[in-house]
Chains A and B, each alone.
Chain A
Amino acid sequence: MKRLINLTPSKSTRWLLGILPFALIILIYIVASDARLAENATDKLLPSFGQMGETLNSYVLEPSKRTGEYLFWTDTYSSLKRLLLGIVIAAVFGFTFGLLTGAIPTFHAPVSPLLTVISLVPPMALLPILFIVFGLDELSKVALIVIGVAPCIARDIQRSTLEIPQEQIIKAQTLGASSLQVLLRVYIPQLMPRLISSIRLTLGSGWLFLIAAEAIASTDGLGYRIFLVRRYLSMDVILPYVAWITLLAFIIDWLLLKTSQKCFRWHHQGAH
């Protein structure tokens, strides 16, 4: 039966088809960039890959004339530090509140509505208040990520907690488990892989908050650099930085997936 829904490309074709859109985008870029550069050799909007490579080279391999730092690496280090710190704190907060509100009804009643409301407040709108409370230094940048990400993780974990079949809880109790034991032996092991997938999903907004925070007041970081050179349209810096951020995001996402697959094999059985 030759129906479209039954046609599965072979592994090599799948790879080829997967790469095709990327190749196409790069080709379109090269053609458009060439056309602009042919008209104006110093055009800044669509630099050639050669120009980007040159600029990136000086950012990656040469110390800055002004500060003596290797800009690319200090930017990456500062941003990753902020992002990871923010995400870890958000994960701890989110997991704790999600678990407790999901598993303990007396905790659910007072905290859950508050959590719902807080998760609906757009964190970017709170920025001026964040400055005044946390100052302008590292703390406010990490705080923005935490405030932006933690409520989402908490709500996701809460929902996952409520989805765990009641039978399991009752069974554990008939076997004599205390509340603490139910939490530690029934809930937490099942929720850990959910936490990882929740982090994977919120990582995108984590990056968003990081870059927004760095754009406002900063002296280093990937977002800082992008907003700084935007002042003079240096796309030869912006485009490689965006590609680098995407690659970093991809690697973090991949590492989380692998961790989850390695530590919680039972969770991934049957699913991809």
Chain B
Amino acid sequence: MLSTALTKRLFGKTLLASALLFTSAVASAKPFNVCWSIYVGWMPWGYAAEQKIVDKWAKKYGIEIKVTQINDYVESINQYTAGQFDACAMTNMDALTIPAAGGVDSTALIVGDFSNGNDAVILKGDNKTLKDIKGQNVNLVELSVSHYLLARALESVKLKEADVKVVNTSDADMVAVYGTKSVTAVTTWNPLVGEILSQPHSSKVFDSSQIPGEIMDLFVVNTATLKKNPALGKALVGAWYEIMSTMSAQDAKGIAARTAMAKASSTDLAGFDSQLKTTKMFYTPASAVEFTKSDALLSTMKKVAEFSFSHGLLGEKAKDAATIGVEGPKGIYGDSKNVKLRFDTTYMQLAADNKL
């Protein structure tokens, strides 16, 4: 017994370092690493990094922040969960099912927007309605927010998931797949939705504007890191709302910012603006705080947790949907002894009060 304990101690640290299995403790050394991936609600991060706005705010609080763009969205969350990044952009559902379910205590530092039509269920054929989906194969990225949207859509017309057959399809291939004969129904997100709807004989039968506020885009920070380094939270929130006020303006600077973001997501200004139209952006910190403080937040998280549990996303050991505690300004949903996802309005409130 003694020898195993000794080996563990001897090997533990060197092996960890050499095998590149960094723990979060190692990664929290300065500078701070944050990551994001291509999505309309997260494009501001790229622009903020490029325009040195993040640097400016980091300097103000005496820290260094490195912003990394990751091409594969799920990979970015996995990297964050593994401890390679201190913060990462992700949806509320992924924040619950990947880092929180993996025991990484995370804080939603910024509630950036919610999908207000960006995610949609599309059927092939003219003038279809959602009820026509019964019995069809539905191509979507399984266990993603698309899957959640489909479940909510089916609920709205008293159908069950068993009434359709879900086919896991990679988002990268969604548009190509839609062109094939065997595909009759898809659920996906923008810009793919726009691309697919531009093909003739396609009907959008349900979208996220029918479940407003349920698919949120967050900027999530490791709770322990944030607690130790409030400066990180202040700098990130400060930079974010500076961009928000720039890009929401209709002046030349705003147009320049949106054009740059459009280009970075390989579309043009018109395309980007149309994506923004189906995204409820919280341009002001006050609106984000108000949304986060609403009663709806925890009931949304309850729905998301129940969906996640019934699909096995909370882990094999989860006994029920309430295994993981979600803390919001209005209280806690789930196990209060196991809070792993926190919606914290402190920093957004500081921005709203102009105290950053």
A interface, CB within 8 angstroms of B: 28, 31-32, 34-36, 39-46, 51, 54-55, 58, 65-66, 127-128, 131-132, 135-137, 215-219, 224, 227-228, 230-234, 236
Q: Say whether, besides A45-B82, A131-B176, A236-B316, A32 and B21 are in contact (CB < 8 Å).
A: yes
User: Across the interface, which residues of B come within 8 angstroms of A31, CB to CB?
Assistant: 7-8, 11-12, 15
- How many interface contacts (CB-CB < 8 Å) are there between A and B? 123
Give the Cβ gap from B200 to chain A, nearest Cβ, in Å. 17
User: Across the interface, which residues of B come within 8 angstroms of A45, CB to CB?
Assistant: 21, 81-82, 102
CA distance A228 to B170 in the complex (A): 10
Query: Which of B8, B24, B78, B179 is close to A233, meaning CB atoms less than 8 Å apart?
Result: B78
Q: Is the CB of A216 within 8 A of B12?
A: no
Q: Is the CB of B23 within 8 A of A39?
A: yes
CA distance A31 to B143 in the complex (A): 32
Q: Is the CB of A217 within 8 A of B98?
A: no
Query: Which of A42, A46, A65, A218 is close to B315, meaning CB atoms less than 8 Å apart?
Result: A42
CA distance A58 to B97 in the complex (A): 20
User: Across the interface, which residues of A come within 8 angstroms of B181, CB to CB?
Assistant: 135
Q: Is the CB of B168 within 8 A of A224?
A: yes
Q: Which 5 A-B pairs have the closest CB atoms?
A: A42-B103, A44-B102, A128-B176, A217-B169, A40-B103
Q: Which residue of A lies closest to B175 (CB)?
A: A128
Report the contact-size class of chain B (Cβ under 8 Å from the partner).
Answer: 35 or more
Query: Which of A34, A54, A131 is close to B180, meaning CB atoms less than 8 Å apart?
Result: A131
Q: List 7 A-B contacts (CB under 8 A).
A: A28-B15, A28-B19, A31-B12, A216-B169, A217-B173, A231-B98, A233-B82
Q: Is the CB of A58 within 8 A of B142?
A: no
User: Across the interface, which residues of B come within 8 angstroms of A65, CB to CB?
Assistant: 310, 312
Q: Is the CB of B170 within 8 A of A216?
A: yes
Q: Is the CB of B78 within 8 A of A35?
A: no
User: Across the interface, which residues of B come within 8 angstroms of A58, CB to CB?
Assistant: 316
Whether, in the assembled complex, B38 has its beta carbon less than 8 Å from a beta carbon of chain A, the answer is: no
Most chain B beta carbons < 10 A, residue from A35, A66, A132, A232: A232
Q: Can you add 9 more A-B contacts, CB < 8 Å, to A44-B103, A231-B98, A231-B141? A: A28-B19, A35-B8, A36-B21, A42-B103, A44-B315, A136-B183, A215-B170, A233-B98, A236-B316
CA distance A34 to B7 in the complex (A): 12
CA distance A132 to B180 in the complex (A): 5
Give the Cβ gap from A25 to chain B, nearest Cβ, in Å. 11
CA distance A216 to B139 in the complex (A): 10
Whether, in the assembled complex, B296 has its beta carbon less than 8 Å from a beta carbon of chain A, the answer is: no
Give the Cβ gap from B148 to chain A, nearest Cβ, in Å. 12
User: Across the interface, which residues of B come within 8 angstroms of A236, CB to CB?
Assistant: 316
Whether, in the assembled complex, B16 has its beta carbon less than 8 Å from a beta carbon of chain A, the answer is: yes
Residues facing A in B1-25 (CB within 8 A) are 7-8, 11-13, 15-16, 19, 21, 23-25
User: Across the interface, which residues of B come within 8 angstroms of A224, CB to CB?
Assistant: 168
Q: Is the CB of A44 within 8 A of B166?
A: no
User: Across the interface, which residues of B come within 8 angstroms of A227, CB to CB?
Assistant: 168, 170
Whether, in the assembled complex, B250 has its beta carbon less than 8 Å from a beta carbon of chain A, the answer is: no
User: Across the interface, which residues of A come within 8 angstroms of B166, CB to CB?
Assistant: 219
Q: Say whether, besides A36-B21, A219-B165, A232 and B97 are in contact (CB < 8 Å).
A: yes
Give the Cβ gap from B82 to chain A, nearest Cβ, in Å. 5
User: Across the interface, which residues of A come within 8 angstroms of B176, CB to CB?
Assistant: 128, 131-132
CA distance A224 to B167 in the complex (A): 10
Give the Cβ gap from B125 to chain A, nearest Cβ, in Å. 18
Q: Which residue of A lies closest to B83 (CB)?
A: A45
User: Across the interface, which residues of A come within 8 angstroms of B103, CB to CB?
Assistant: 40-44
User: Across the interface, which residues of B come within 8 angstroms of A54, CB to CB?
Assistant: 316
Q: Which residue of A lies closest to B313 (CB)?
A: A232
Give the Cβ gap from B21 to chain A, nearest Cβ, in Å. 5
**Contact flags (1/0) for B146-177 with A, using CB distance below 8 Å?**
00000000000000010001111110010011
Query: Which of A42, A131, A132 is close to B101, meaning CB atoms less than 8 Å apart?
Result: A42
Q: Is the CB of A230 within 8 A of B74?
A: yes
CA distance A228 to B173 in the complex (A): 15
Whether, in the assembled complex, B311 has its beta carbon less than 8 Å from a beta carbon of chain A, the answer is: yes
Whether, in the assembled complex, B127 has its beta carbon less than 8 Å from a beta carbon of chain A, the answer is: no
Whether, in the assembled complex, B190 has its beta carbon less than 8 Å from a beta carbon of chain A, the answer is: no
CA distance A128 to B176 in the complex (A): 6
Give the Cβ gap from B327 to chain A, nearest Cβ, in Å. 17
Residues facing A in B115-151 (CB within 8 A) are 139, 141-144
